[in-house]
């Protein structure tokens, strides 16, 4: 970037020195001519320095103009959407690998059962699996759908964030359904477990490492009347509905009939801090 000084204004230190009238007269003294000849070298050096500085400033200014504020290193890809898609693909591959390893563990367990002990443990684990999300489950479900406001809905002076579904809106519905007695739940078809976290990345929501765009569909198996009552009496839901009325955010609740929810197949290991 330029420092604000015009290179044409930069002058050598001796540019303002007064010219003596005697200098205008030629001299025939050789010794004086030699001294004058030698004195030109420092001036030439200073002039060369000024020229180099001016050229350096010109090059920096040209680079700034050409870049127009863009990164001069195009090989650095900082596009968030690309990073999310790449990570989602990687996570899907890991989940597939984890499912295969889990199947191998089950096969080894069945092949090495100790009568009366191993079978009892496996039976207990199998009974608990559906309730914690590790086993498939079927039943009648309530379906809640959230969506962004239509693109045509763009009121003047309204923050664009008011027109989209946020992660806290999805979490609000999930928590309300749990409080209404939901026994199993999915978001976008993915099973929800105790460690499930919903995260916003740009205009998408990331769930278990996979990015989803709206509309967002939440299904819950359980007592349909109890879950509906929980939604109807929730203060958080009431506030969301105010935005539905004001800005046309999407909101619908329906009985989905009989559905089958898949088991969660991702990692379930939990790490935590320990005192030293």
Residues contacting 46, CB < 8 A, separation 6+: 12, 13, 14
Each residue of 221-275: pLDDT tens digit?
A: 999 999 999 999 999 999 999 999 999 999 999 999 999 998 887 766 666 667 7
Measured between alpha carbons, how far is 114 from 67 in angstroms, rounded to an integer? Answer: 71
Is residue 106's pLDDT more than 70? no
pLDDT of residue 175: 94
- CATH no., domain 139-257: 3.30.70.1880
Domain boundaries, the chain: 29-69, 139-257
pLDDT of residue 178: 94
Nearest by Cα to 231 from 145, 133, 140: 145
Residue 72's Cβ-count burial label (10 Å; 0-12, 13-18, 19+) is exposed
Each residue of 175-220: pLDDT tens digit?
A: 999 999 999 999 999 999 887 888 888 778 888 888 899 999 999 9
pLDDT of residue 130: 58
pLDDT of residue 162: 87
Q: Is 257 left (phi over 0), alpha (psi -120 to 50) or beta?
A: left
- H/E element holding 265? none
Is residue 65's pLDDT more than 80? no
Other beta carbons within 10 Å of 112: 8
pLDDT of residue 1: 46
């Amino acid at each position: 970037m330029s420092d604000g000084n015009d290179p044409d204004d930069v002058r050598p230190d001796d540019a303002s020195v007064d010219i003596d009238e005697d200098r205008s007269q030629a001299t025939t003294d050789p010794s004086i001519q030699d001294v004058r000849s030698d004195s030109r070298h420092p001036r030439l050096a200073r002039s060369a320095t000024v020229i180099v500085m001016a050229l350096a400033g010109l090059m920096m200014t040209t680079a700034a103009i050409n870049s127009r504020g863009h990164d001069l290193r195009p090989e650095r890809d900082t596009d968030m959407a690309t990073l999310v898609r790449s990570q989602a693909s990687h996570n899907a591959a890991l989940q597939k690998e984890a499912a295969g390893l889990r199947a191998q563990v089950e096969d080894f367990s069945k092949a090495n059962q100790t009568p009366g002990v191993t079978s009892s443990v496996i039976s207990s684990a199998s009974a608990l699996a559906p309730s914690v999300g590790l086993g498939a489950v079927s039943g009648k479900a309530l379906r809640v759908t959230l969506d962004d406001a239509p693109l045509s809905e763009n009121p003047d002076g309204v923050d664009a964030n008011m027109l989209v579904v946020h992660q806290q809106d999805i979490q609000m519905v999930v928590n309300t359904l749990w409080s209404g007695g939901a026994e199993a739940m999915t978001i976008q078809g993915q099973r929800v477990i105790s460690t499930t976290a919903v995260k916003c990345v740009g205009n998408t929501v990331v769930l278990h490492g996979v990015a989803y765009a709206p509309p967002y569909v939440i299904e819950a198996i359980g007592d349909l009347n109890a879950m509906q009552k929980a939604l109807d009496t929730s203060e958080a839901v009431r506030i969301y509905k105010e935005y539905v009325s004001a800005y046309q955010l999407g909101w619908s609740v329906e009985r989905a009939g009989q559905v089958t929810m898949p088991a969660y197949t991702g990692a379930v290991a939990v790490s935590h801090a320990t005192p030293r």
